[in-house]
Amino acid sequence: MEENQKIAMQIAEELNVKVIQVVKTIELIDGGNTIPFIARYRKEVTGGLSDETLRELGERLTYLRNLQERKEEVKTSIENQGKLTDEIVKSLEEAKTLAEVEDIYRPYKQKKKTRATVAKAKGLEPLANIILEQKDERNIEEIAKEYVTPKEKIDENTPKEQIVESIEDAIQGAKDIIAEMISDNPEYRKYIKKKCYLNGFIVSKGVNPEEKTAYDMYYEFQEKINRIPSHRILAINRGEKEEVLKVKLDKNEDYLMDYIKRDIIKGNTQFTEILEDTIKDSWKRLIEPSIDREIRSDLTEKAEEQAIKVFGKNAKPLLLAPPLKGYTVMGFDPAYRTGCKIAVIDEMGKLLETTTVYPTEPQNDVEGAKKALKALISKYKVNVIAIGNGTASRESESFVSEMIKEIKEEVHYAIVSEAGASVYSASKLATEEYPDINVSLRGAISIARRLQDPLAELVKIDPKAIGVGQYQHDVNQTKLTESLTGVVEDAVNEVGVDVNTATPSLLSYVAGINKTIANNIVKYRDENGKMQERKELLKVAKLGKVAFEQCAGFIRIPGGKNPLEITAVHPESYDIAEKLLQRIGYKKEDLTDKEKLKEIKLKLAEIKIKETAGELEVGEMTLKDIIEELSKPGRDPRDEMPKQILRADVLKFEDLVEGMTLKGTVRNVTDFGAFVDIGVKHDGLVHISNLSNNFVKNPSDIVSVGDIVKVKVIGIDKERQKVQLSMKDA
């Protein structure tokens, strides 16, 4: 069977989709198409696979192709050594993971200097084989004596590594060779790993049990290897790295060694004791440390994959948080000693004014700060104050809440995540955007803009600095970056990008557009003015036909020549869209007329999809998408997401009582629950067991970042300022 077909069948089974869907998707990926483009404009080809499924498919395709490539390399290497057998070929074909392939290759790998390679160099391999065969009836010492280097053959020029000095030296060398052979046996390793996963435990102990740390619960801890959840693996790893915990794998050593003995030892002979001793040495010195490393590495890899998935799931709703359109926003970056940085931006995100006030300790200039902010609110007609959630956030919130009560204007405030704001402030990009603005003030601008247009602002920072998820700094950073780049791409392309106002950061996430092309678009715009139609993109340096096909549908041109270009209708479907409008008695220009648009929407709702798709010679899924776009031209999918909670009053930790019901915003979702901002200093935790009256396997099935939820206070820890919440019957 052709390799691509085999890979497609495996992926189809794993993702629970049809083989033909995978085959067609692979063809599209190999043809240079991007995931957002395939997800949006090739639904007929893929059978409507979502962007998430397509990304997973792409990742598995890369892994399985790498696996196949490694199998071929291993096969060639063993063949070149003249040791390839049908059994090895079969084992390689059946191997499902790279780890299995490496286990098969282990005995044939060029090794560095080991005790076994030293013994082989002394010519002791035949003696090792005699001991393993257990058939020679001569006394072992008599046999071994033949391998001792005669004294007359030794002079000052004889290399020491070629000398077998005694019978004991010969037997020990043979044992070293056998120990390595046992350790390298792929069948033994496979069996031992399987049993360790089934029956083994991961055990951790505190290095200083009397010392209080964040790892208290792991001081006397054990859990089955096959049951331990990802977040606990990463927590234990971190505790071990910080030298707070000692970690080991607990397994039934005697049972596993007996398994090897049963396979190797044939009856009771003079070789039995030597082999038992050798098996024990092989286990302690070679097998156990190696297997432990592999299992820990495997557990960590799976935990990291899960953490990266959680991060991606949390990041997407944060990126797709609804923009606060039409408001003048004051960004408030809280601090103590250095003062709170203030930036006012207009409804288009343009900076109007900046200042610094000192309402917090040690200055406590509350009145001076109120006077300055009231003047700015009045001068620029500020509607909303965006307060960063970092240091001094709650003190700043109390100050803002008190000030709002003293003014006649209707002003609200919102707490905004400032994760990554400091990274952005000091970045090259921020310096280019605000060359004349102090680094510390740029954070306040970023906070204000995050409330106004989260997506446009968050694309400016490294995705892993977004600050949602679990243990993101402990996982493989390359994989995390790749995964999060995909999440950001999907979010940007789902919303669409106004080519005439977008920053290079935002444009670079559009399908088919890289950083160079993004900068070239902005340069073209600066030199030639606003673009009037999508095809003008073809005049941009390095943006050719292939890139245009990928990006065109995600580009928006409000007020341009073609009203279809404020929708996600791809240029390849313009004819279909216009024919569809003609059928119901309208033309594309009518999409900009509010009254006619209402009529168009009603008539499009009556379209018979199957029949019309056949007549227009277009796929049903594509037709549905075109109808949806024509019904809501200029639609922003973020408008359908939960809106940011705007507050006018503050809730103090001391105000909380058990049984109190509150509304809050989900700030983070982990494997063990969700953190909800209820307006006090620290987010409260809704443990997985309190998310629903029904059993919850994965918190992400119940809540997403940005959701507005109703919660009940069920526990208050005043000393640690922690709140336990429940969504059951709230």
The answer to whether residue 651 scores a pLDDT higher than 70 is: no
Can you give the pLDDT at residue 469? 62
Q: How confident is the model at residue 510 (pLDDT cuts 50, 70, 90)?
A: very high
For the CA atoms of 191, 196, 199, 200, the dihedral, rounded to the nearest 10 degrees, stands at 170
Per-domain boundaries in the chain: 3-108, 122-306, 329-452, 559-633, 653-726
The residue with tokens 């300055």 is 372
Nearest to 508 by CA among 525, 488, 536: 488
Beta bridge partners of 647: 413
CATH of domain 3-108: 1.10.10.650
Read off the pTM: 0.80
Can you give the pLDDT at residue 468? 66
Please, which residues have CB within 8 angstroms of residue 551's CB and are 6 or more apart in sequence? Answer: 510, 511, 512, 513, 537, 543
Rounded Cα gap, residues 368 and 358, in angstroms: 8
Query: How is domain 653-726 classified at the CATH fold level?
Result: OB fold (Dihydrolipoamide Acetyltransferase, E2P) (2.40.50)
Is the peptide bond preceding residue 362 cis, with omega within 30 degrees of 0? yes
pLDDT, one tens digit per residue, over 707-720 is: 888 888 888 888 77
Nearest to 386 by CA among 420, 351, 361, 411: 411
Q: How confident is the model at residue 580 (pLDDT cuts 50, 70, 90)?
A: very high
Rounded Cα gap, residues 249 and 594, in angstroms: 68
The answer to whether residue 207 scores a pLDDT higher than 90 is: yes
Average pLDDT over residues 661-672: 85
Residue 668, classed as helix, strand or coil, is: strand
Query: Class of 329-452 per CATH?
Result: alpha beta
Tokens of 435: 């060359």
> What's the DSSP call for residue 97?
S
Average pLDDT over residues 341-365: 92
The answer to whether residue 472 scores a pLDDT higher than 80 is: no
The residue with tokens 């789902």 is 494
Average pLDDT over residues 508-512: 95
Q: How confident is the model at residue 649 (pLDDT cuts 50, 70, 90)?
A: low
The answer to whether residue 291 scores a pLDDT higher than 90 is: yes
Beta bridge partners of 348: none
Phi, psi of 717 (to 5 degrees): -110, 95
Rounded Cα gap, residues 220 and 113, in angstroms: 39
Q: Do domains 122-306 and 329-452 have the same CATH topology?
A: no
The residue with tokens 């060779």 is 177
| Terminal-residue alpha carbon distance, the chain | 57
Query: How is domain 122-306 classified at the CATH fold level?
Result: Tex N-terminal region-like (1.10.3500)
Can you give the pLDDT at residue 459? 86
Rounded Cα gap, residues 560 and 566, in angstroms: 8
Rounded Cα gap, residues 624 and 604, in angstroms: 10
Please, which residues have CB within 8 angstroms of residue 598's CB and are 6 or more apart in sequence? Answer: none
Rounded Cα gap, residues 661 and 655, in angstroms: 12
Average pLDDT over residues 315-344: 90
Question: Mean of the per-residue pLDDT values for the chain?
Answer: 89
